[in-house]
Structure 1
């Protein structure tokens, strides 16, 4: 999988390529059709002309001075000195004498093609006229040669034309995508401050309501308001991170070795209150050493936090969430598995679509889609596996990197739980 920006650029390039290919194919097809029509018209015209001359020669031609490219054979007549070998066709002469019906056939002799017509004249003499088709066949070959050259030139011209048309026609799409990203970034920035202020004020009012012992319905209403504004702030944060990743995913200058083991423990600690309120057990295990990956710590923290938050949200009270880290020297795997309701395996890939609505009615919003953008922006992959009623398992795989040189080796990390 690729980051959003790479995917958009790839789609734009593919759109240009499709337009270029379609344009070239249409022009090529038209030229082929024109060539076939020209060949058919030329062949028919030649055949009609040859047959007219052949019939005239067989019926009225002078035996001693036949038309050009034609030879006449009859009983008692001496063939011309340049007459082709293998003629006349005796079987046709005998057949016409028996049936008095004209016979016309194509004969392949001497490396060329002849058209032979045998018929009985009004005076009873049976005459066979033979026409050499080599010049007509040569004209057809020259026609196809010229069409082939024109086809190659036309194909090059069509490819260039298609490329130009593709660039001109797709340019508005690329500009629209860029404007969309700018709008999301600008809108998110403009909304972030007032939403943060509203969220802070709502929290203060909620605490004051509890201290003043206001009626339960008022306290519950303020609590719901705090939750709603908090979720709105989380969506804005997601949009901002997604826009920044699309604009410049995980810039190399910002990449540093990140201890994924310590980061995972820190994320679990941040969710301690939710874990306790939900009556869950969360463990962190696997590798007994620090595992480093190169990347942006804030983005990776958001990705791991999304996986853990997703597992906590879908695991009922008394359930268990396991965070496991393993390293192979070339890659680091972080797996978050839970004992929640799971999901249909057919939806595993669609879970990472923005605002995907699962078959059970659950909606996943931007979180998992943003998670994939972060992971792919760091050169990694993320997969999901699960079965209905048997929980879910999400696995992030990232390239492992060396620890920072100035770092003092940490004490061995042991499995723990919250």
Structure 2
């Protein structure tokens, strides 16, 4: 919503600015042409008929043997033009910059054979043009202020209905997810009980498999609800500063890996955590960051075949904490790197899809960080998260060794 309001304000400001600039450019062009035409008419009249002792306003006349007026500008007449006009009999016009101003000079032979050079001082015309640009500058500033106010008002009015609709949608998602959590938890618990009872009783294998799939489906449904609740919570209150704490990522990563140890052992996977012995702290919501790291690990587990390897690396790089999860799984097409973070995206091979990675990016962006993915088909994938490091985090001792954990 803020981006939409800002975009409307910027577009309004640019529109008003362009209009003022266009009007100013047209006014300047018209005034310049009108002044030039008037100056040339006066110059030609003065050169053809003006009296040497009483020339037109802003004009000085020079002729061989005539004494210039006392207030005549220095540096005139232009001898080269007089020689050329005398030799060719053709009038010569040029613009001369002298004495911090501009002069329009015309040299010609009059009908009575007298050689005359007329010099017109354009300082007043140039001053009028400068005044015009100054007025346009003031109008531009006033226009920008008016554009900012107008854009803010238009932005608020234009975006208000959409903002209200989105707020209602978020409230609905949060309320629905919250209300569904309890019955789904009850269904999940009951399904687990039935699955355990089925294992102890002499039930057909297809019934036991059906109960196992039911438990898995209900578990995934609960995870989706948790994702929706977290996403709605972040969208409804992006700041949530009261919940921010210093979170130590090395400990958090090891804890997440330990929580998934049963799944990694069942899949025959090796998971290694490489991190420094000193703490790497970030400012954020621990539960959200735990969910983000867990999503990366679960994603790697789900796409790494038996006997594969997953590495979780943590390091400090230029004021940020970098967490990388790399696997030896199926990988993905490089062109799909950004599409992976879209909600419910499924790649060509059917891998890496759902709400999790989209929510992961929301969580990381909420904490002021970035997440990127790289990979190739059949060569595994690498997800890199960068988060701003806490200012109060201790400075590491370079002599301390790097430790690694295995699950």
Normalising by structure 1, what TM-score?
A: 0.71
Of 78-87 and 376-385, more deviation after overlay is shown by 376-385
Out of 198, 223, 229, the position equivalent to 1:234 is 223
The alpha carbon displacement at 1:45 in A equals 1.4
1:30-49 Cα distance to aligned partner (Å, 9 max, x none): 22332222222222212212
Question: What is residue 263 of structure 1 aligned with on the other side?
Answer: 255
Contact 1:250 1:377 survives alignment (8 Å):
no
Question: What is residue 295 of structure 2 aligned with on the other side?
Answer: 306
Once residues 356 and 232 of structure 1 are traced to their aligned partners in structure 2, the CA distance between those partners, rounded to angstroms, is 17
1:259-301 Cα distance to aligned partner (Å, 9 max, x none): 64773465135xx3x55654x2455766899989787665555
Question: What is residue 349 of structure 2 aligned with on the other side?
Answer: 360
Gapped regions of structure 2 (runs ≥ 5): 394-402
Once residues 137 and 390 of structure 1 are traced to their aligned partners in structure 2, the CA distance between those partners, rounded to angstroms, is 71
Larger radius of gyration between Structure 1 and Structure 2:
1
Once residues 106 and 331 of structure 1 are traced to their aligned partners in structure 2, the CA distance between those partners, rounded to angstroms, is 62
Out of 35, 38, 47, the position equivalent to 1:46 is 35
Gapped regions of structure 1 (runs ≥ 5): 1-11, 403-412
1:330-386 Cα distance to aligned partner (Å, 9 max, x none): 999877654432345665565444323334321321223334545666777766565
The alpha carbon displacement at 1:304 in A equals 4.9
Of 336-345 and 150-159, more deviation after overlay is shown by 336-345
Once residues 275 and 85 of structure 2 are traced to their aligned partners in structure 1, the CA distance between those partners, rounded to angstroms, is 100
The alpha carbon displacement at 1:321 in A equals 5.1
1:51-102 Cα distance to aligned partner (Å, 9 max, x none): 2222223333344433223334446766544444444444444433433322
Relative to 1, partners in 2 of residues 1:301 and 1:93: Cα closer, same or farther, differing over 3 Å? closer
Q: What is the SS of the residue equivalent to 2:54?
A: coil
Question: 2:124 aligned with 1:135, yes or no?
Answer: yes
Relative to 1, partners in 2 of residues 1:61 and 1:255: Cα closer, same or farther, differing over 3 Å? closer
Relative to 1, partners in 2 of residues 1:33 and 1:233: Cα closer, same or farther, differing over 3 Å? same
Question: What is residue 4 of structure 1 aligned with on the other side?
Answer: none
Out of 70, 93, 106, the position equivalent to 1:117 is 106
Of 132-141 and 87-96, more deviation after overlay is shown by 87-96
The alpha carbon displacement at 1:185 in A equals 0.6
Relative to 1, partners in 2 of residues 1:374 and 1:61: Cα closer, same or farther, differing over 3 Å? closer
Relative to 1, partners in 2 of residues 1:196 and 1:101: Cα closer, same or farther, differing over 3 Å? same
The alpha carbon displacement at 1:29 in A equals 2.8
Once residues 100 and 386 of structure 2 are traced to their aligned partners in structure 1, the CA distance between those partners, rounded to angstroms, is 70
Q: What is the SS of the residue equivalent to 1:129?
A: strand
Out of 169, 178, 194, the position equivalent to 1:189 is 178
Name the structure, 1 or 2, with higher relative contact order (CA <8 Å, separation 6+): 1
The aligned length equals 390
Normalising by structure 2, what TM-score?
A: 0.72
TM-align CA RMSD: 4.5
